[in-house]
Amino acid sequence: MVEAAELIDNDFLRQFEIKVDDHLAKIEYSLQERKIFLTKLVIPEEIKDQDFSKDFLVAVFEQIEERNLSVVPTSPEIAKFVRSNRKYKRMLPVGVRI
């Protein structure tokens, strides 16, 4: 489902967005120096399922990795994703543990 939709980095609203069937899923963030703080994950009930959430987070993390930024997940759902996907732990800044 995420592959068909376009991931948008809306820097004005400071959020990553994907629109699916007139519903907007988003991850709010704060950018400081070379770190991006992922603060809130919002997925509407109509499109909420485990595969969508995982695919959305993978797409966001890949885009962040391309920009060479460190990730600080402050949202519990995003921190849980990082814990269960070891390859994204390398994107954490030095001294941050999840």
User: Mean pLDDT, to the nearest integer, of 55-83?
Assistant: 94
Residue 86 contacts residue 95 (beta carbons within 8 Å): no
CA-based torsion, 43, 47, 48, 54: positive or negative: negative
33 assigned to some structural domain = yes
What is residue 3's predicted lDDT score, i.e. its pLDDT?
56
Say which CATH number the domain at 17 has.
3.40.630.30
- Per residue in 31-45, pLDDT (tens digit) is 998 999 999 999 999
Global pTM value? 0.89
Tokens 């399922």, located at residue: 49
CA 84 to CA 19: how far, in whole Å?
A: 25
Residue 30 contacts residue 39 (beta carbons within 8 Å): yes
51 assigned to some structural domain = yes
CA 38 to CA 30: how far, in whole Å?
A: 7
Split into its structural domains, the chain has a count of 1
13 assigned to some structural domain = yes
98 assigned to some structural domain = no
**pLDDT band for position 64 (cuts 50, 70, 90):** very high
Domain that holds residue 54: 8-91
